[in-house]
């Protein structure tokens, strides 16, 4: 460990946690005045860490100050990077190269001299092997003995077939046979009584028993492990205990018990990966391969990189294929059952092989799921690439392949339905045979689907591909289908045949030939043949310069061969064509770091020239008009942003206004609330708040207008009624003020401020009514009577005429006539005439006729007339008059000013009315109506 690393690790573990450095100490003046070298070391470490920011000049200043105080401080020691050719002078590096070259020459000369020497007898006696490549003679007996004892070297093909997992399992098997269980589990109880224990104690005890089972499982004593897991489950059933017991039962080949435990786990946790894996193992051992594939498919959907599931899926697929091949060779068997009593149908021989749904992923073909689950095949813009990524072109749509499959076309089958409406079992794909056979079946089908669709759907392999003839189009579509199924070797042959056929046919279509070369390059890339991939991509780019996919695949191939400069150039060219390719961005960043380490700071000078891409080939510059959906989405986003900004401004203005009100700055608050209403003109609370400001500033008219606006938005707003009452009081409209205050008290009788204001306003109202003139001048309105064709002007009826007509069922035509007649009846006490007038007046017109004559005396007189003269004759009419009378203007104020005797007459009227039996109203109706009068 270097001195700087030692100091940093030692200091960070010992001092950094105990001392906190304030930000104010990270200053030039403080560092210059500080004389504590230890504390300066802590400041220097904090500055170097970058937690408070990166300040190179301040770090240098701190180092210089620390060097003056303590020149031998460990904090001043810096790591010396490993020397490279870029960090050394040219002369020194040339000397190093000369020394290495001399050493290499000397080594070769020494080896050559050793080869020329003869092997002596004493050397042979010591069983020394000959120098490799020497021409010396060796005794035949010795050479034969050595050849028998020596282990022959293995070639690379044999190493490729070497199965590491299998050898490790053999070693584990040898160890397991030698190990002996430490404890006998015959005396263990599998169930424990924990009913008297608390939940916490039971949980702890179940965990302890599970841990004992884990120890026994590691010791390969599976019976004891099952016993401990059973004890844990009896105490408290858990998913982990069931899973572990299922694994131990699988080790003992207790398949049914393992199946039960897996089902118990899936009841508790439906998508548990371990339970699905173990149930798939059991299904596979029991020969139910289809169910095993279903479970493994569910696992792969949750964890696509699960190695265990991938391996088990491959093994299960292989077993299922072998089983179907065996059935096909043996043929069908016809089983004859002898029926004695009951007659029942036997399954048809065609149904013995369980067919597979076309949409079901079978035989390890995880890539046969939906395209959204697989990712776009070869579409570099969609996802970052891995080593050997790439896929063939397709004119109609992008094809898909499984991202978890290994390289090479090693898949044994792919999926194509034989008939569009029947379930078909997958066959074995052989080179050039099965694809064509199934293509015939698909092409004869009535339902055709273009290439690039899901594997379980019918595929039309005769779909046209550009200017290629039918035979070459078929080869290309077959290659696309094989690539999509992971059979890269077979797809490569199809593309090669199509390219050869293209040259033989003499077609002139560079674009189609470019696609074929690019697709074959993708197969080479998948098989790890980077050199051939580069050649095909180069040929494709000669046919169609600046084509995106060949460039990207050639860059991947260069990167896999560690030819980073050329890969960098291709990736930068890709980004010139389409700047949105994320895989190219990631690769450029990664290769840049490698080139800096390799070539030093002047690494750009050693790069080949990066070609300039013309504007016509730059895809990101081809601006197409946005679609309707895009425009709509942009408009919605802009509206949401504007709404969010307006909401934030509204909240700020409202908060500022509230703060100004608390401080008594009502004029400033008025401006803030006005700004709020510009943003949200329908906010009731802002109107009431601004009305308060107007009241404080004695601008009563504006306050009343704001309260009216608030009541339009919320008709029952209590604050708006109360503040409008204060505004009406300021405007000396005591009657309207009293009405608003009564509305407030009706909503909430506990508002003491409203009660006090009502008492004060009532006094002011009585005073104002007393000072008003009791009588007003009466105007005579000219009336024109028409008789026949002549018109003679007359005058309005006088009071004497009205008095004469009162006894003759007088029917008023307007509020003036009704008021004159009512005043005459009240002054003369003629209840009978008033009763006749009320009997001839429609109840719904009564509030309109009383609008100018309503006072306490009039209300009292009408109540007496209704009680004494009309109640016995027509109680329904009395009820109707009372239903409309309280709707007259200022009725609530006039009712409040009634004397005690008048109130008693009102109560007496409702008592008499409630005792009357009628079909038009009930006692409850009368009681509800009385609440508005009493």
Q: 């579409």: which residue's tokens?
A: 379
Rg for the chain (alpha carbons), in Å? 50
For residue 446, what pLDDT is reported? Answer: 32
Residue of higher predicted confidence among 157 and 361: 157
372 pLDDT more than 60: no
Section 649-670 average pLDDT: 92
33-89: pLDDT as tens digits: 998 989 999 999 999 888 888 888 999 999 899 889 998 888 888 777 777 878 788
The distance of Cα 146 from the centroid of its chain, to the nearest Å, equals 69
327 pLDDT more than 90: no
412-440: pLDDT as tens digits: 333 333 333 333 333 333 333 333 333 34
What span, in angstroms and rounded, lies between the C-alpha atoms of 248 and 240?
A: 12
Residue of higher predicted confidence among 449 and 832: 832
For residue 388, what pLDDT is reported? Answer: 40
848-904: pLDDT as tens digits: 888 766 777 888 888 888 888 888 888 888 888 888 888 887 787 778 778 888 888
For residue 447, what pLDDT is reported? Answer: 33
What span, in angstroms and rounded, lies between the C-alpha atoms of 719 and 691?
A: 10
For residue 885, what pLDDT is reported? Answer: 85
266-323: pLDDT as tens digits: 988 888 889 999 999 998 888 888 888 888 888 888 888 888 888 888 888 888 888 8
240-260: pLDDT as tens digits: 999 999 999 999 989 999 999
692-739: pLDDT as tens digits: 999 999 999 999 999 999 999 998 899 999 999 999 989 888 888 888
378 pLDDT more than 90: no
What span, in angstroms and rounded, lies between the C-alpha atoms of 180 and 400?
A: 51
What span, in angstroms and rounded, lies between the C-alpha atoms of 214 and 221?
A: 10
Residue of higher predicted confidence among 402 and 115: 115
The pLDDT-based confidence of 508 (bands split at 50, 70, 90) is confident
For residue 112, what pLDDT is reported? Answer: 86
Q: How would DSSP label each residue in 607-650?
A: SPPPPPPPGGG-GGG--PPPPHHHHHHHHHHHHHHHHHHHHHHH
Residue 744 has φ and ψ, to the nearest 5°, of -65, -45
What span, in angstroms and rounded, lies between the C-alpha atoms of 276 and 282?
A: 10
Average confidence score pLDDT of the chain? 75
| 896-907 as b/e: b if 16+ CB within 10 A | ebbeeebeebbe
| 397-414 as b/e: b if 16+ CB within 10 A | eebbbbebbeeebebbbb
What span, in angstroms and rounded, lies between the C-alpha atoms of 477 and 462?
A: 8
182 pLDDT more than 50: no
What span, in angstroms and rounded, lies between the C-alpha atoms of 837 and 839?
A: 5
Q: Residue 295: which of 311, 305, 284 has the closest Cα?
A: 284
Section 80-107 average pLDDT: 87
CB under 8 Å to 107, separation ≥6 — which residues? none
331-349: pLDDT as tens digits: 444 443 333 333 333 333 3
Which range has the worst mean pLDDT, 361-370, 682-691, 826-835? 361-370
For residue 846, what pLDDT is reported? Answer: 83
For residue 430, what pLDDT is reported? Answer: 36
What span, in angstroms and rounded, lies between the C-alpha atoms of 741 and 838?
A: 32
549-581: pLDDT as tens digits: 999 999 999 999 989 999 999 999 999 888 888
Contact at 8 Å (CB) between 295 and 318? no
Measure the N-to-C terminal CA separation of the chain; round to a whole number of Å. Answer: 98
What span, in angstroms and rounded, lies between the C-alpha atoms of 445 and 449?
A: 10
**Neighbouring-strand partners of residue 794:** 783
For residue 335, what pLDDT is reported? Answer: 42
What span, in angstroms and rounded, lies between the C-alpha atoms of 351 and 460?
A: 28
623 pLDDT more than 70: no
Share of the chain above pLDDT 70, in %: 72
Contact at 8 Å (CB) between 358 and 417? yes
781 pLDDT more than 80: no
Helix 875-885 × helix 900-914 angle, to 10°: 130
For residue 821, what pLDDT is reported? Answer: 83
What span, in angstroms and rounded, lies between the C-alpha atoms of 376 and 372?
A: 8
What span, in angstroms and rounded, lies between the C-alpha atoms of 560 and 388?
A: 8
The pLDDT-based confidence of 810 (bands split at 50, 70, 90) is low
Give kind and range of the element (H or E) at residue 516.
helix 510-527
Contact at 8 Å (CB) between 809 and 836? yes
Q: Residue 675: which of 705, 646, 702 has the closest Cα?
A: 646
Which range has the worst mean pLDDT, 131-140, 456-465, 618-627? 131-140
For residue 691, what pLDDT is reported? Answer: 93
Section 753-779 average pLDDT: 71
392-407: pLDDT as tens digits: 554 433 333 333 333 3
For residue 612, what pLDDT is reported? Answer: 87
């Amino acid at each position: 460990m270097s001195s700087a690393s030692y100091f940093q690790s030692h200091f960070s573990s010992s001092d950094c946690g105990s001392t906190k450095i304030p930000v104010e100490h990270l200053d030039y003046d403080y560092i210059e005045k500080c004389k504590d070298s230890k504390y300066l070391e802590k400041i220097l470490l904090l500055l170097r860490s970058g937690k408070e920011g990166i300040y190179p000049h301040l770090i240098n200043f701190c180092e210089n100050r620390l060097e003056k105080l303590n020149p031998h401080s460990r904090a001043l020691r810096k790591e010396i990077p490993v020397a490279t050719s870029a960090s050394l002078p040219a002369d020194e590096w040339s000397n190093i190269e000369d020394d290495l070259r001399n050493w290499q020459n000397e080594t070769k000369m020494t080896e050559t001299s050793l080869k020329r020497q003869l092997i002596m007898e004493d050397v042979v006696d010591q069983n020394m092997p000959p120098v490799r490549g020497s021409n010396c003679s060796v005794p035949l007996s010795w050479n034969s003995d050595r050849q028998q004892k020596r282990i022959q070297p293995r070639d690379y093909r044999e190493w490729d077939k070497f199965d590491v997992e299998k050898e490790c399992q053999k070693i584990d098997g040898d160890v397991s046979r030698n190990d002996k269980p430490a404890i006998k589990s015959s005396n263990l109880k599998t169930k424990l009584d924990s009913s008297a224990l608390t939940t916490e104690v039971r949980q702890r005890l179940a965990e302890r028993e599970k841990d004992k089972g884990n120890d026994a499982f590691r010791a390969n004593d599976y019976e004891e492990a099952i016993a401990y897991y059973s004890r844990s489950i009896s105490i408290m059933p858990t998913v982990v205990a069931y899973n572990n017991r299922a694994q131990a039962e699988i080790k003992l080949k207790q398949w049914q018990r393992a199946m039960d435990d897996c089902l118990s786990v899936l009841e508790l946790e439906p998508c548990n990966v371990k339970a699905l894996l173990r149930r798939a193992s059991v299904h596979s051992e029991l020969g139910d391969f289809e169910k095993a594939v279903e479970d493994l498919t569910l696992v792969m959907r949750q964890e696509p990189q699960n190695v265990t599931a991938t391996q088990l899926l491959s093994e299960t697929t292989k077993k299922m294929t072998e089983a179907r091949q065996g059935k096909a060779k043996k043929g069908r068997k016809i089983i004859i059952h002898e029926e004695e009593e009951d007659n029942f149908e036997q399954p048809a021989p065609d149904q013995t092989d369980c067919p597979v749904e076309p949409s079901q992923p079978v035989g390890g073909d995880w890539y046969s799921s939906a395209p959204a689950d697989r990712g776009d095949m070869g579409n570099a813009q969609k996802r970052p690439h891995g080593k050997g990524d790439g896929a063939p072109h397709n004119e109609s749509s992008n094809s898909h392949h499984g991202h978890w499959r290994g390289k090479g076309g090693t898949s044994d089958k792919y999926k194509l339905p034989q008939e569009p409406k029947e379930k078909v079992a997958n066959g074995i794909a052989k080179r050039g045979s099965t694809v064509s056979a199934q293509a015939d079946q698909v092409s004869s089908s009535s339902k055709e689907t273009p290439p690039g669709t899901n594997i379980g759907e019918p595929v039309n392999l005769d779909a046209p591909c550009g200017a290629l003839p039918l035979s070459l189009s078929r080869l290309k579509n077959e290659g696309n289908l094989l690539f999509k199924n992971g059979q890269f070797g077979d797809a490569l042959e199809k593309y090669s045949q199509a390219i050869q056929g293209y040259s033989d046919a003499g077609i002139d279509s560079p674009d189609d030939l470019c696609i074929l070369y690019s697709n074959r390059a993708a197969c080479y890339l998948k098989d790890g043949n980077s050199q051939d991939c580069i050649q095909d991509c180069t040929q494709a780019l000669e046919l169609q310069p600046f084509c995106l996919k060949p460039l990207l695949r050639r860059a991947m191939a260069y990167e896999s061969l560690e030819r980073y400069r050329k890969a960098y150039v291709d990736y930068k060219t890709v980004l010139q064509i389409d700047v949105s390719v994320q895989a190219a961005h990631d690769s450029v960043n990664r290769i840049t770091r490698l080139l800096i380490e390799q070539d030093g700071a002047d690494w750009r000078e050693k790069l080949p020239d990066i070609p300039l891409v013309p504007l016509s080939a730059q895809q990101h510059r081809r601006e197409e008009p946005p679609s309707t959906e895009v425009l709509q989405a942009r408009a919605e986003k802009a509206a949401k942003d504007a709404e969010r900004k307006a909401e934030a401004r509204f909240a700020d203005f409202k908060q500022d206004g509230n703060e100004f009100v608390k401080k008594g700055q009502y004029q400033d608050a008025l401006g803030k609330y006005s700004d709020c209403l510009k943003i949200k003109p329908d906010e009731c609370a802002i109107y009431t708040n601004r009305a308060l400001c107007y009241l404080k500033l004695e601008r009563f008219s504006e306050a009343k207008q704001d309260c009216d606006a608030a009541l339009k938005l919320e008709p029952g707003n209590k604050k708006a009624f109360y503040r409008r009452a204060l505004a009406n009081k300021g405007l000396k409209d005591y009657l309207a003020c009293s009405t608003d205050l009564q509305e407030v008290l009706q909503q909430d009788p506990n508002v003491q401020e409203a009660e006090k204001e009502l008492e004060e306003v009532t006094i002011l109202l009585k005073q104002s009514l007393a000072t008003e003139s009791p009588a007003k001048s009466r105007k005579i309105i000219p009336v024109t009577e028409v008789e026949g064709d002549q018109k003679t002007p007359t005058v309005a009826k006088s009071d004497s005429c009205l008095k004469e007509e009162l006894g003759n069922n007088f029917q008023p035509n307007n509020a003036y006539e009704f008021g004159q007649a009512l005043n005459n009846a009240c002054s003369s006490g003629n209840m009978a005439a008033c009763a006749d007038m009320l009997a001839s007046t429609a109840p719904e017109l009564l509030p309109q006729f009383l609008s100018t004559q309503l006072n306490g005396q009039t209300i009292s007189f009408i109540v007496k007339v209704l009680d004494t003269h009309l109640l016995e004759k027509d109680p329904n009419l009395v009820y109707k008059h009372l239903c409309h009378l309280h709707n007259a203007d200022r009725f609530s104020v006039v009712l409040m000013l009634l004397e005690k005797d008048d109130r008693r007459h009102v109560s007496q009227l409702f008592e008499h009315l409630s005792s009357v039996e009628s079909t038009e109203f009930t006692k409850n109706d009368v009681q509800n109506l009385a609440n508005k009068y009493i």
